[in-house]
Amino acid sequence: MRLSLSCVLLGWALLFINCAKDDTLTLDSDSRKEPRPEEIKPELGEVNEPDIQVYFTYSSYPRDADNWIIIHDSEGQLVDYKKIEDGGPVEFSAIKDSIPEKISITEFFYSIDGVNNAFHSLMTYTDINPGSVWNNFHNPPQGNLIGKFSLGIENVPGLKSNILSTPRGPLSAVDLQINGDFNNLTLNLNDIPLYENEDYLLSIYDNSDDHKYIFLTEPKDGLDSIIDYSQFLDYDTYLEIDLPANDFVLLHTYGYADDDPNYFWVGQTFSFNLDFSSPSTIKAGYLENYKRYRTEFSFRNDGYSYSYTKNGTKIENITIPPQPSFALNDDSVYNLSFTSDIIFKTKNTRHFYSFTDTEGINSQTTWSIYSCENSEHRVGELPEEVLLGYPAISLENLELQSVNLSAQGFTHQELFDQMTTNERKGDFTTEDFVFTNF
């Protein structure tokens, strides 16, 4: 009887102890909290993938030359480089957080001709936005080529310049022959490419200071025409510019039939005047039945050039500003700097070196750099693999040839984007100051 009672009492005691332990666990609420995210450890084999992004893409025509793309950051530190095979396209990618805020892209071509003359051509765009694309294709609009024709112009009182064009721009692939003397000559244009359903305009600037044109409406294949210069017409209006002292001057005018043309390409050419005789005036013509116009003017004198281009309306006059100040502080291709009183939006520079060895083999190196509105630029050095692969590149001997400051026009990034899209829309004006005498 005593043993049975003792067992009962022991049973009740164990039950009471267990209930007390359960109550204690219920009150300890911290032990049931969900773990914080940073406390969660990945399962065995689980990997956090990095965020890889493409920050630059390049494409070009396949060429009979070596082609490299080298990328630096804005401080000139090498980021990446690749040799381009068959024109690409080639993508450059990196972890997102490691991509610089701005990148500098250098395109490098190396070619050699049949007698072992070497050509090194470098082009750099600094301070470009990551994500940019460089499609190095230039495909001007072309008509449907259906044949050829020839044209002769008689009794021209001397010739300063002439140009034949379609609405798609001037034609250069023409066999030109001139017979006669300074006061009376015959101009023969042979093997003119004939494009379907297109009108041709022939412009002549003669030695009597007359500037005239004639339209050829849809010529026929194989046509051989003779026209007397007396049939040429005066333009509807003229732009005439009084010139300062100059070594060279050009004045081009074009017309567009569209109200919103792509100014990346030129239109119907009215005037294409180039003069190396240091003239005091120059003129160009316009026709009225066009929606938009383009005027290009430039002159050069003793190491200085000024250029002005207007796209949109015709120009009645151009006011040429006085030559601004310019002084070099450092002419290095890597750390160029200068001072000038020009407020400019973009700039580009050109360095050049040519060397001929004792066997008559020539090596040329050209480096053009396009950059933004700072009065200095910083360009990174080429990677050792490239330098060792092309020992005749002669970068240490490069000499500054020109500095071009653009006071009006597009931003640096806009110019880069237009180059890769082959599109330039909307009316605009550009103004450039070029210094070449250092």
SS (H, E, C) 406-417: EEECCCHHHHHH
**Residues sharing a CB contact under 8 Å with residue 377, sequence separation 6 or more, in sequence order:** 126, 335, 336, 347, 349, 369, 371
380-392 tens-digit pLDDT:
999 999 999 999 9
pLDDT at 374 over 80: yes
Integer Rg of the chain from CA: 35
Residue numbers of the domain that contains 130: 52-113+122-136
CB 315 within 8 A of CB 239: yes
Domain match, 166 and 215 both? yes
Beta strands in 229-267 (DSSP E): 233-234, 237-242, 248-256
Mean pLDDT of the chain: 89
CATH number, residue 212: 2.60.40
The torsion of the CA quartet 94, 96, 99, 102, rounded to 10 degrees, works out to 130
CB 423 within 8 A of CB 262: yes
Domain match, 167 and 220 both? yes
In this structure, is residue 98 part of a structural domain? yes
In this structure, is residue 373 part of a structural domain? no
CB 92 within 8 A of CB 54: yes
| d(C-alpha 367, C-alpha 234), whole Å | 44
pLDDT at 40 over 60: no
| d(C-alpha 324, C-alpha 341), whole Å | 6
pLDDT at 1 over 50: no
Q: What percent of the chain has pLDDT over 90?
A: 78
Domain match, 127 and 158 both? no
In this structure, is residue 259 part of a structural domain? no
| d(C-alpha 147, C-alpha 196), whole Å | 9
Domain match, 142 and 228 both? yes
**21 or 397: which carries more pLDDT confidence?**
397
Identity (one letter) of the amino acid at 276?
F
pLDDT of res. 340: 96
Q: With bands split at pLDDT 50, 70 and 90, how would you rate the model's confidence at 26? A: very low
User: What count of other Cβ atoms lies within 10 Å of the Cβ of residue 438?
Assistant: 14
Q: What percent of the chain has pLDDT over 70?
A: 89
pLDDT of res. 12: 40
pLDDT of res. 135: 94
How large is the average pLDDT for residues 354-363? 94
In this structure, is residue 146 part of a structural domain? yes
The torsion of the CA quartet 135, 137, 142, 144, rounded to 10 degrees, works out to -100
342-358 tens-digit pLDDT:
999 999 999 999 999 99
Domain match, 161 and 189 both? yes
Domain match, 226 and 144 both? yes
Q: With bands split at pLDDT 50, 70 and 90, how would you rate the model's confidence at 405? A: very high
| d(C-alpha 157, C-alpha 185), whole Å | 7
pLDDT of res. 170: 93
208-234 tens-digit pLDDT:
999 999 999 989 898 889 999 999 999
Q: With bands split at pLDDT 50, 70 and 90, how would you rate the model's confidence at 47? A: low
Q: Please give the angle made by the CA atoms of 246, 248 and 251, to the nearest 5 degrees.
A: 110
How large is the average pLDDT for residues 253-258? 97
pLDDT of res. 205: 94
Q: Please give the angle made by the CA atoms of 77, 81 and 87, to the nearest 5 degrees.
A: 145
Domain match, 130 and 154 both? no
Last residue of a domain, one of 234, 262, 281: 234
| d(C-alpha 389, C-alpha 373), whole Å | 34
What three-state secondary structure class fits 13? helix
pLDDT of res. 107: 97
pLDDT of res. 280: 94
176-208 tens-digit pLDDT:
899 988 789 999 999 999 999 999 999 999 999
In this structure, is residue 202 part of a structural domain? yes
Last residue of a domain, one of 188, 211, 234: 234
**Residues sharing a CB contact under 8 Å with residue 280, sequence separation 6 or more, in sequence order:** 242, 243
Q: With bands split at pLDDT 50, 70 and 90, how would you rate the model's confidence at 14? A: very low
In this structure, is residue 176 part of a structural domain? yes
Domain count, the chain: 2
Task: Please tell me what DSSP assigns to residue 219.
Answer: P
Q: Which two tokens stand for residue 41?
A: 């450890």
In this structure, is residue 150 part of a structural domain? yes
pLDDT of res. 437: 84
Beta strands in 41-172 (DSSP E): 52-60, 66-73, 78-83, 90-95, 103-112, 118-128, 132-136, 145-156, 159-166, 169-170
In this structure, is residue 173 part of a structural domain? yes
114-138 tens-digit pLDDT:
999 999 999 999 999 999 999 999 8
